[in-house]
Structure 1
């Protein structure tokens, strides 16, 4: 039986941290679809595991207090820069 997309994402995140763009490239999925799957993966990790998120950060001012870490914001609310580093995800 072939693993589901969410199982493949979870398996990849157990190996190493990755951004949604990296996961999308590895699994041939659009980034916005990966974010939808990550929402479900974050709620369904096995007992004893933790879904970790390195939050997005602004390259200009360093702001990293974004409200939704499972999303890639388009602009920084502090300085309005569009140079935002993607969040990275991992399962430990």
Structure 2
């Protein structure tokens, strides 16, 4: 196999592992990274793909959106993204989203 092929297989396996974990329990991206021994960046990069692939079946990726610990803002544009700061108060204390497959 070429590197491109093995990377595709690795990505698919990572996404499958994330989906399997979220079927068993709710988790934040950091909890997924720790439990599955993945880089946090890899988890965030895989979430939109996991969401699309499970919607092809009869499951949905449910997301409790990230929330600012300072002011409580939770209206982030991309709930599956990793916000760096709150658009309301500019705080960097952002709680991660909580994810579940249902």
**TM-score if structure 2 supplies the norm length?**
0.83
Is 1:48 matched with 2:43? no
Higher Cα radius of gyration: 2
Match of 1:36 among 7, 25, 45: 45
The equivalent residue for 1:10 is 19
The equivalent residue for 2:74 is 64
Runs ≥4 in structure 1, deviation > 6 angstroms? none
**What is the alpha-carbon distance in structure 2 between the residues aligned to residue 42 and residue 49 of structure 1?**
9
The equivalent residue for 2:97 is 87
* Alignment deviations for residues 32-62 of structure 1 (CA, whole Å, 9 cap, x no partner): 1101111110100052211101100001110
Ranges in structure 2 where 5+ consecutive residues have no aligned partner: 1-11
Higher helix share: 2
**What is the alpha-carbon distance in structure 2 between the residues aligned to residue 7 and residue 36 of structure 1?**
13
* Alignment deviations for residues 46-88 of structure 1 (CA, whole Å, 9 cap, x no partner): 5221110110000111000000011121110000111100011
Aligned residues: 90
Ranges in structure 1 where 5+ consecutive residues have no aligned partner: none
**TM-score if structure 1 supplies the norm length?**
0.92
